[in-house]
Structure 1
């Protein structure tokens, strides 16, 4: 700003010098001393007014420039603040998206626990409810622990609850064995005959017929028991059940 004022002062001084030169000897008779002094005073006042006006304009421009710089700095700070907020919001959005994804994955996993699943039982496929296998295993554990009455009740409840279960033939087989262990021969025969009739190719079918034969023999129906054993040998040749039936026939009198 001082440099500009100095430059303007120089220009004004040169202008005054020019005017003085113009009033030199060639026009010496035109102006007297008072007029010359008044002209100089007028020019000085004009120069001072010009200098004040220029200084005011320079100060005004400086203030405008400073205001613009302050506004620019404020805008920069605001942009930085908004960027920070945007980053925070972006992180929050990513966190919410991950939580939502995890929630639906967990929900899907939980729902699948209640949906029927395709299973293979003794080489046979079928749909099984999530609760079937645990209930079947619990009943079988009772049987293996010697609780034949409790096992029979559990297998009977299972058969009633899950009539389409792929575990049903096994549940019937072990129910028949539980009844046989309790000497309920009639009940055992009835359950096992239904099991074999509905599932003649089931891997446990030969074993079920052998249990039926034992029910018949121990209840005094030896002839019926012999025929059942002969049926096993004839219908399931080459199986372990056929071998057991054959051996049993040799000892049956």
Structure 2
């Protein structure tokens, strides 16, 4: 009897062990592609930002090169003496030093040198003196233009508009007139008056279609007006 029970018990254990659930198959670990996708997207965003930065630097460089070209042209012209200085003759001062009042050439050069040295306040003062003393001098349009640039550098937009407008209205044949129109358009665009800025560029296209200023309109200005 005991042998029979022992045999049955062994059979039961054997059967139960055979019916046990098979072990779960091991899952192979598949790496998720999400981190890689996120990294790629981050790199794409960085490339877009980098491209925008490059475009901004290119625009700034073009503007700087344009300014440098204008300055070089100005310096080249100044190598020849300014003429027609007789509008207000130089007078001898009564100071102990006996120094004479600077000529038109000296007055203009001092103001222009101050501008190139980024001493915009002194440049404004010098150009105003030149304009007041020598109103018939052929360099008056240039004096108004560079005075406008000096005022613009000081963020004096109202007086800068007056200076550039003087070039456009009073000296439309001056070689600085097209550049003055562009400067006015930039100021009005900065002030949010895009309609006025567009009118000025249209005027530039009509009156000075072959001017270098028309070919050098800053891309930032065009982008602003296109919005």
Q: Normalization by structure 1: what TM-score? A: 0.48
Please give the root-mean-square deviation of Cα atoms over the aligned residues, in Å.
Answer: 2.2
Name the CA distance, whole Å, in 2 between partners of 1:155 and 1:166.
Answer: 14
2:127 paired with 1:127: no
Question: 1:139-168, CA deviations, whole angstroms, 9 ceiling, x for partnerless residues?
Answer: 001000011111111111111111111111
**2:189 corresponds to:** 217
Does structure 1 retain, via aligned residues, the 8 Å contact 2:167–2:176? Answer: no
Shift of 1:237: 0.8
2:150 paired with 1:193: no
Does structure 1 retain, via aligned residues, the 8 Å contact 2:85–2:104? Answer: yes
Name the CA distance, whole Å, in 1 between partners of 2:164 and 2:198.
Answer: 17
Structure of larger gyration radius: 1
Shift of 1:219: 2.1
**1:164 corresponds to:** 136
**2:208 corresponds to:** 236
Aligned positions, number: 131
**1:64 corresponds to:** none
Question: 1:198-221, CA deviations, whole angstroms, 9 ceiling, x for partnerless residues?
Answer: 111111100111111111111222
**1:207 corresponds to:** 179
**2:145 corresponds to:** 173
Name the CA distance, whole Å, in 1 between partners of 2:218 and 2:212.
Answer: 10
Name the CA distance, whole Å, in 2 between partners of 1:174 and 1:249.
Answer: 20
Determine helix, strand or coil for the equivalent of 2:216. helix
Structure 1: gaps spanning 5 or more residues: 1-119
2:160 paired with 1:154: no
Spell out the pairing of 1:76-91 with structure 2 (5 A cutoff): none
Q: Which has the higher helix share?
A: 1
**1:251 corresponds to:** 223
Determine helix, strand or coil for the equivalent of 1:155. helix
Name the CA distance, whole Å, in 1 between partners of 2:165 and 2:219.
Answer: 22
Name the CA distance, whole Å, in 1 between partners of 2:160 and 2:223.
Answer: 23
Structure 2: gaps spanning 5 or more residues: 1-76, 91-102
Q: Normalization by structure 2: what TM-score? A: 0.53
Off by >4 Å, runs of 4+ in structure 1: 246-249
Shift of 1:128: 2.2
Higher relative contact order (CA 8 A, sep 6+): 2
Question: 1:212-240, CA deviations, whole angstroms, 9 ceiling, x for partnerless residues?
Answer: 11111112222211221222122111221
